[in-house]
Amino acid sequence: MAARGEPAAIGPVVAAGNGLRHQHLAIAGMAAALAVAPLVLYPVFLMKVLCFALFACAFNLLIGYVGLLSFGHAAFFGTAAYAAGHAAKVWGFPPELAVLFATACSALLGLVFGWLAIRRQGIYFAMITLALAQMLYFFYLQAPFTGGEDGIQAIPRGRLLGVLDLSHDLVMYWVVLAVFLAGFLLIYRTIHSPFGQVLKAIRENEPRAVSLGYEVDRYKLLAFVLSAALSGLAGGTKAIVFRLASLTDVHWTMSGEVVLMALVGGLGTVFGPIVGAAVIVSLQNYLAGLGHWVTIVQGLIFVACVLAFRRGIVGELGRLLGKPL
């Protein structure tokens, strides 16, 4: 347990009230930069970054603010991808309903996983989530509707609300950006709400939160479901963007990747997961020529990150500026 008054190793304690002004400015700046980014960069690449950034932010909500390390988040991401793909392709759902349906599926799954997993702490919690996610992986491998190794292919992007034609990459991009910002702001609001304060209290000292009269399990479960649902939002959106849901999305390496993204960017920081996702996705994209060596490069980065700057890129930056980011 961390000693009282000392900032926890996992992330800087966020100051309340007016101390957040620089964060609001940073969010506005980020939104503006992202809105014009596709005019310079390849929009499909940016959409991938945004989907993974939302996924990493959802994961960070759990590890960074409740201190729960889930090693099965790919289950929520992948389930949503399959749900969105199946709904849009087979049932003919419009994209917005497909993604909402996918988010609901992941939230429900999060409720089941969370209900089982929050009974244990630390490594046991991580292992339970991993075990459940692996069970689900083998289910998806065999279930006929997922298409096994082929995945669900040629998922229609369709028209948003019957109006916006998503087959244009730029239109799709701004929709993805809106989804990302909505998810991100929801997380931001959550961690700065009284609910978020209780989550942080649980992270810092769980027995103490219990002694103060909080029903810790309820808070943990709610945070878990929220994280699962937002991971699902990211996964469902990704399936619509790439028109493909495959086993890669539910494989345990995906759970590992999201841990890596959060860690490289900075656990328990607001912007860390976004930066982490951008770094990891760029690496995968630009080093794709190395084939299987990409995973080794990622491993080396992970080691370097843990050894040299444990707060992650954004965490270290925040420390240098003296402000939580």
Partner 1 sequence: MRRFLVPAGAALLAVAAHPALADFTGGKVRIGVLNDQSSLYADITGQGSVVAARMAVEDFGGKVKGVPIEVTFADHQNKPDVGSNIARQWYDTDGVDVIVDVPTSSVALAINEVTREKNKVFLVSGAATSDLTGSKCSPNTVHWTYDTWALANGTGSAIVQTGGDSWFFLTSDYAFGHALERDTEAVVLKAGGKVLGKVRHPLNNPDFSSFLLQAQASKAKIIGLANAGGDTINSIKQAAEFGIVAGGQNLAGLLVFITDVHGLGLQTAQGLILTESFYWDLNDSTRAWSKRFSERMNGRVPTMVHAGVYAAVTHYLKALDALGADGDGKAVVAKMKELPTDDPLFGKGTIRKDGRKLHPVYLFEVKKPAESKGPWDYYKLKATIPADKAFRPLAEGNCPLAQ
Biggest distance spanned by C-alpha atoms of the chain: 56
**23 or 79, CB closer to partner 1?**
79
Beta strands in 182-297 (DSSP E): 244-245
Least distance to partner 1, CB of residue 84, Å: 14
Inter-residue contact 244 to 152 (CB < 8 Å): yes
Inter-residue contact 170 to 38 (CB < 8 Å): yes
**127 or 294, CB closer to partner 1?**
294
For partner 1, the binding residues (CB under 8 A) are: 35-36, 38-39, 42, 44-45, 48, 141, 148-151, 153-154, 167-170, 174, 242-244, 246, 248-249, 285, 288-289, 291-292
Dist CA 293 CA 50 (whole Å):
24
**4 or 292, CB closer to partner 1?**
292
**Token pair of 204 as six digits:** 């810092």
- Give the DSSP per-residue string, 43-94: HHHHHHHHHHHHHHHHHHHHHHHT----S-HHHHHHHHHHHHHHHHHTS---
Least distance to partner 1, CB of residue 319, Å: 34
**37 or 108, CB closer to partner 1?**
37
Least distance to partner 1, CB of residue 108, Å: 25
**172 or 199, CB closer to partner 1?**
172
**59 or 242, CB closer to partner 1?**
242
Least distance to partner 1, CB of residue 148, Å: 5
Dist CA 112 CA 106 (whole Å):
10
Least distance to partner 1, CB of residue 121, Å: 34
> Judging by beta carbons within 10 Å of its beta carbon (0-12, 13-18, 19+), is residue 223 exposed, middle or buried?
buried
Least distance to partner 1, CB of residue 73, Å: 17
